[in-house]
Amino acid sequence: MKVTDLPYKRVTIEDFSSKAKAVIESIQSATSAMDVSQARDGYVALVKEYQTARALSYMRYSINTVDEFYLAEKDYYDEIGPLVQNYLLEYAKAMLKTPFRGELERSGEIIPLVFDAFEVEMKSMSADIIEDMVEENKIVSEYSKLMASLEFPFRGEMLPRPMLMKYAKDEDRETRKEAYEVLGNTLKQYEDMLDDIFDRLVAVRDRMAKKMGYQNFVEMGDYRMGRLGYGRTELLTFRDNIKSDIVPMVSRLRTQNAARLGLDSMKLYDNDIIIAGGDPKPLGGKEDIFKAAKSMYADMGEDTKRFFDFMLETEAFDVESRKNKWGGGYCTEFAEYKQPFILANFNGTSDDVDVVTHEAGHAFASYMTADNRFSIELDVGGMETAETHSMSMEFFAWKYMELFFGDQAKKYQFMHLLSALSFLPYGTIVDEFQRQVYENPNLTPKERKDAWKKLEADFRPFLDITGIPYLEDGTRWQYQMHIYETPFYYIDYCLAQVTALQFLLCMQEDYDDAFRRYVQLLSQGGEKTFTQLVKEAGLMSPFEKGALAEVAQKAEILLNAIAKEANI
């Protein structure tokens, strides 16, 4: 069945609550482990139905944010979402209290990690914060709708931001500068709105955290991310690893590359360009990219062939950029139909190819774990695990880049690797910025912007942000939508990136073995923790002190070898 034909029916809070109460009562009155297991089956069916309806409504809203019906449906789920979460919390409480927990764990009927996940859930949710969660959802929607509606005047056209940012990669420096000036000047017009929205988000999140007994939102925010096996202490070690081993290497590489580009300094508008004369662009448009991707996944193996053919047959992509379409990109799934879906905004740059590698990596994980017994409770893993699936697929696709870029394939690899390494300091800035903001919730808008500028200087010393209206004030974070919408998510990209880089280094020695280990990691979904999966794949945990030194050294050697081969 095509995605456009998937039937949608609202799951009402009345129906959900009735069924959830019945499940919870069955667990509480259970006289055997089998009774609990059967009640869990009811829970799985209920949550699958709810998640599918919510995902369908959001998908159809995001492809047209002014569609009144699906806007109303999205708003409905935003409103009832906290109430649903509270029922799921009550379910988790009942499961944690059942006297049959030990028997269920020993028999393997329910693995211990499911109960661990319930314990983390208990730390991030309470009936006392339902009204605050509803308010938070409304504010996030306000931000999302604002960003989706923004249009940027560029050379006689009004462009959505994804299309404007196409010019941020233009080979002509003046064009790049002009694009960033338009970006800054336009955002400046909405400065008060952006500051006000974030003020309210920080306030409501801080209020929730204090109601939950936390000093601030940082710890609660980590629990909301469902982190298992590590916490803020380990993340701070990871931050220090980035600063000591990645930042100097990236600064050196970007300074060297600026010289290749003939630049005496790296301005903000130069950050998106890697290759002299312009970054490699795909050989063709949408149809060519999908044809190449189909060939690539067919050659990778039977699992990837079946997966991508299924995605094409069900028309599970929406990739054209247009007015009123949500400006980002994502992969979601409709669990009842075992159907992944990818939304993106093609703009004619190499980012378009990343959609059929990165987002398809997410979709492949969803496809491979659809029948996993605990996929509802544990999904494909924490977000760091999910992003490992996607970022690693980007690198495994290197073998096939000639299909997409022809004789520019090696230049793409150079650009991709240098961009991946350069991302690590930026992603760490995003997380550290949020830590500082939520530990100091009374910071003024100016103080927040100053904090961002300081972090830019510490983690990206090679980059000069001066000279661009508004953005030079330390406001780059205001269009990093994760900061408003999903706090503390972004560091997961960094954890995944260093894991993916290790897969890249492994595949230089034995591609098939590295790919086998990748598929094994991916197929287990969330049924093991991130650190367990990394260890089983033969990779190093990013939380060990000094863990990134060898990765940095080998990645730099590889990058320089690619540069020589590509005659960059």
> Over the stretch 19-52, which tens digit does the pLDDT of each residue have?
999 999 999 999 999 999 999 999 999 999 999 9
Give me the sheet containing 330-334, strands edge to edge. Answer: 317-320, 339-346, 330-334
Instruction: Return all residues near 278 (Cβ < 8 A) that are at least 6 apart.
Output: 169, 170, 171
Q: Does 276 have pLDDT greater than 90?
A: no
Which of 67-71, 272-276, 446-450 bottoms out in mean pLDDT, i.e. has the lowest? 272-276
Name the residue with tokens 């002014």: 66
Mean pLDDT of 469-479: 96
User: Cα(304)–Cα(2) distance, rounded to whole angstroms?
Assistant: 19
Residue-wise pLDDT for 154-185, tens only, equals: 999 999 898 898 898 888 999 999 999 999 99
User: Cα(12)–Cα(54) distance, rounded to whole angstroms?
Assistant: 11
Quick one: pLDDT band at residue 485, thresholds 50, 70, 90?
Answer: very high
Q: Which two tokens stand for residue 536?
A: 């089983």
Neighbours of 53 (CB within 10 A): 22
Q: What is the pLDDT of residue 327?
A: 78
Short-list 59, 2, 22, 48, CA closest to 325: 59
User: Cα(31)–Cα(29) distance, rounded to whole angstroms?
Assistant: 6
Mean pLDDT of 461-469: 95
How far lies 536's CA from each of 497, 508, 524, 529, 531, in Å? 17, 19, 11, 11, 9
Reported as half-sphere exposure (CB side, CA atoms, 13 A), residue 341 has a value of 24
Q: What is the pLDDT of residue 191?
A: 97
Q: What is the pLDDT of residue 23?
A: 98
User: Cα(407)–Cα(102) distance, rounded to whole angstroms?
Assistant: 59
The angle subtended at Cα 208 by Cα 204 and Cα 213, nearest 5°, is: 145
Q: Does 562 have pLDDT greater than 90?
A: yes
Average pLDDT, the chain: 95
User: Cα(429)–Cα(453) distance, rounded to whole angstroms?
Assistant: 10
Instruction: Return all residues near 8 (Cβ < 8 A) that are at least 6 apart.
Output: 53, 56, 57, 60, 73
Residue-wise pLDDT for 381-420, tens only, equals: 999 999 999 999 999 999 999 999 999 999 999 999 999 9
Asked if 136 contacts 208 with a C-beta cutoff of 8 angstroms, the reply is yes
Q: What is the pLDDT of residue 169?
A: 85
Q: What is the pLDDT of residue 197?
A: 98
Short-list 490, 499, 507, CA closest to 542: 499
The angle subtended at Cα 160 by Cα 142 and Cα 341, nearest 5°, is: 75
Q: What is the pLDDT of residue 328?
A: 79
Would you say the C-alpha torsion 121, 230, 515, 350 has a positive or negative sign?
Answer: positive
Q: What is the pLDDT of residue 326?
A: 84
Quick one: pLDDT band at residue 235, thresholds 50, 70, 90?
Answer: very high
Q: What is the pLDDT of residue 568?
A: 85
Residue type, 553: Q
Beta bridge partners of 346: 320
Asked if 533 contacts 365 with a C-beta cutoff of 8 angstroms, the reply is no
Residue-wise pLDDT for 315-370, tens only, equals: 999 999 888 888 778 999 999 999 999 999 998 888 899 999 999 999 999 999 99
Q: What is the pLDDT of residue 148?
A: 87
Q: What is the pLDDT of residue 475?
A: 97
Mean pLDDT of 258-285: 91
How many residues does the structure list for the chain? Answer: 568
Q: What is the pLDDT of residue 471?
A: 96
Mean pLDDT of 229-255: 96
